Chains A and B, each alone.
Chain A
Amino acid sequence: MSGLQPPHPMELHYQLVVQGMEEGVVFHDQDGVIRATNPSAERILRVPADALLGRRSVLERCEPLQEDGSPLSLECCPALVCLRTGQSERGRVIGLRRADGELSWLSFTSHLLLRADGGRAGVVTSFRDITVLRDRETQSKLRYEEVSHTVRLHDAFLATAAHELRTPLTALRLQVQNLLHRVNSGAGVAVEVLTTKLQAAVRQTERLNALIDLLLDVSRMTVGRIELKRTSVDLAELARDLLARHADELTAGGIEVRLDAKPVTGDWDVARLEQVVGNLLSNALKYGNRKPVHIKVRREGASALLAVTDTGLGVPASDHRRIFERFERAHSGTQTGLGLGLWVVREIVAAHGGSIELASVPNEGSTFTVRLPLAPTLEAVVPKEGP
Chain B
Amino acid sequence: MKNPPTALLVEDDGAIREALAEFLETMGYQVNAVATAEQGIASLRAEGVSLLVTDYALPGESGSWLVRQARAEGLLRTTLVVMVTALLKPPVLADVRVLRKPLDIGQLREEVRLPH
A interface list, Cβ under 8 A from B: 159, 162-164, 166-175, 177-178, 181, 200, 203-204, 252, 286, 333-336
Residues of B within 8 A of A178 (CB): 19, 22-23, 26, 105
Give Cα A178–Cα B20 distance, bound, in whole angstroms: 9
Whether B19 contacts A167 by the Cβ 8 Å rule is: no
Chain B interface residue count, CB cutoff 8 Å, equals 23
Given the known A-B contacts A204-B15, A334-B58, A336-B57, are A163 and B26 also in contact in the complex, defined by CB atoms under 8 Å?
no
Whether B102 contacts A162 by the Cβ 8 Å rule is: no
Residues of B within 8 A of A166 (CB): 86, 101-102
Whether A175 contacts B57 by the Cβ 8 Å rule is: no
- A287 → B minimal CB distance (Å): 10
Task: Indicate if B16 sits at the interface (CB-CB under 8 A).
Answer: yes
Give Cα A336–Cα B103 distance, bound, in whole angstroms: 18
Task: Indicate if B87 sits at the interface (CB-CB under 8 A).
Answer: yes
- B25 → A minimal CB distance (Å): 10
- A174 → B minimal CB distance (Å): 4
Residues of A within 8 A of B86 (CB): 162-164, 166-167, 170
Whether B105 contacts A174 by the Cβ 8 Å rule is: yes
Q: Which residue of B lies closest to A158 (CB)?
A: B88
Q: Which residue of A lies closest to B20 (CB)?
A: A174
Number of A-B contacts (CB under 8 A): 70
Residues of A within 8 A of B56 (CB): 334
Given the known A-B contacts A174-B105, A177-B105, A178-B19, are A167 and B13 also in contact in the complex, defined by CB atoms under 8 Å?
yes
Whether A175 contacts B88 by the Cβ 8 Å rule is: no
8 A-B contact pairs sorted by A residue (CB < 8 Å): A163-B88, A169-B102, A170-B102, A173-B103, A173-B105, A174-B105, A200-B19, A334-B59
Task: Indicate if B62 sits at the interface (CB-CB under 8 A).
Answer: yes
Give Cα A290–Cα B102 distance, bound, in whole angstroms: 29
> Chain A binding site: helix, strand, loop or mixed by DSSP?
helix
Chain B 1-19 interface residues, beta-carbon cutoff 8 Å to A: 12-16, 18-19
Given the known A-B contacts A334-B56, A335-B59, are A167 and B88 also in contact in the complex, defined by CB atoms under 8 Å?
no
Whether B15 contacts A175 by the Cβ 8 Å rule is: yes
Give Cα A368–Cα B56 distance, bound, in whole angstroms: 30
- A244 → B minimal CB distance (Å): 20
- A222 → B minimal CB distance (Å): 23
- B90 → A minimal CB distance (Å): 11
Q: Which residue of A lies closest to B58 (CB)?
A: A334
Q: Which residue of B lies closest to A163 (CB)?
A: B86
Give Cα A177–Cα B102 distance, bound, in whole angstroms: 12
Give Cα A281–Cα B16 distance, bound, in whole angstroms: 24
Residues of A within 8 A of B23 (CB): 174, 177-178, 181
Whether A167 contacts B101 by the Cβ 8 Å rule is: yes
Partner of A334, one of B15, B16, B57: B57
Whether A173 contacts B88 by the Cβ 8 Å rule is: no
Given the known A-B contacts A166-B101, A334-B58, are A171 and B16 also in contact in the complex, defined by CB atoms under 8 Å?
yes
Whether B105 contacts A162 by the Cβ 8 Å rule is: no
Whether B57 contacts A159 by the Cβ 8 Å rule is: no
Give Cα A166–Cα B23 distance, bound, in whole angstroms: 18
Give Cα A159–Cα B14 distance, bound, in whole angstroms: 22
Give Cα A263–Cα B84 distance, bound, in whole angstroms: 47
Q: Across chains A and B, which 7 residue pairs bring their CB atoms closest together, nearest first?
A: A174-B19, A171-B15, A166-B86, A170-B102, A170-B101, A177-B105, A334-B57
Whether B16 contacts A174 by the Cβ 8 Å rule is: yes
- A221 → B minimal CB distance (Å): 25
Residues of A within 8 A of B103 (CB): 170, 173-174
Give Cα A204–Cα B14 distance, bound, in whole angstroms: 11
Residues of A within 8 A of B19 (CB): 171, 174-175, 178, 200
Whether B26 contacts A200 by the Cβ 8 Å rule is: no
Give Cα A203–Cα B13 distance, bound, in whole angstroms: 13
Q: Which residue of B lies closest to A252 (CB)?
A: B14
Partner of B62, one of A173, A204, A334: A334
Give Cα A335–Cα B55 distance, bound, in whole angstroms: 12
